Chain A
């Protein structure tokens, strides 16, 4: 990092750009691949797992790292706007009294690492790298502006806790394992409730409490076949879909009266 800032001091953006691009040439290169790039939701879908394999490429000039390597894999699901509501007591009953809008948080967020994040890097570094549920950016709408609140903001904490309970947010300090000193594997668990859309996978290589290489990949979850047909029909042709459902109800009712007729 010191190298980058010295070049930046030279003053030109080009120099900064060039130096960050040239950085990997001195150190490690990260290569990663997913077991598949498409998850298809069929009627029997009950969740699945995508496996990420990666390797840390070194060359003759690569120096030996004192702390060894650590990997942090972050998977971001499609963005959604969500409201967190808090119940309070009004006139003796529990009703929603307060709410906060979270602007475009990932619908799914998994942070997988080789060990506990606070043992990998400093909180400052983790925040800069958006690594970990405590450090990921989850802006909330306040009037017309979006602001980032501290990790102990009650709404933020409740939001993350509820998402964890749904299995959609998770932090696994042992989610990535090194099979050899340079080859690693991570399982990305996808619950059945994981929303459809595209998922970004961000892989960062940490050494000596700093990021020395990164790479990314992506996969998507799509509905196929019958599930896709029904979901699209309901969304695009709501009225006819409703008519068809109502007709189905009448047919079922009529069939029952024929099958069970006793008079």
Chain B
């Protein structure tokens, strides 16, 4: 008997991004308040802080649901998440007026220019990182909470 498998799946899913967020927040404080980088990072940090860990949790709940019907690869399942997250993050940034498209590139905060080639690299690297993170770390926490 395994009570509340979806709650366990959610909890196992949010651990990795929550821990990693500590690193991101530390880097943010160093860049913004110690090195005085003149980019208002705090305006865009809402999405990684609030959205990403919850989406990892929900994505892992979906994995727990998929496992009941077979044996999907957790690495591949996790590697699909950037394809959801990246457009969502861009939509949020565009909605808040923090990002826009102009002449073959995405512009963030009017100072960071990312051309389509760079975007492709970001997506490729993101998929690779997510594949490994889900295969080893999320799977570890799933095993720990009995939903692997």
The answer to whether A and B assemble together is no
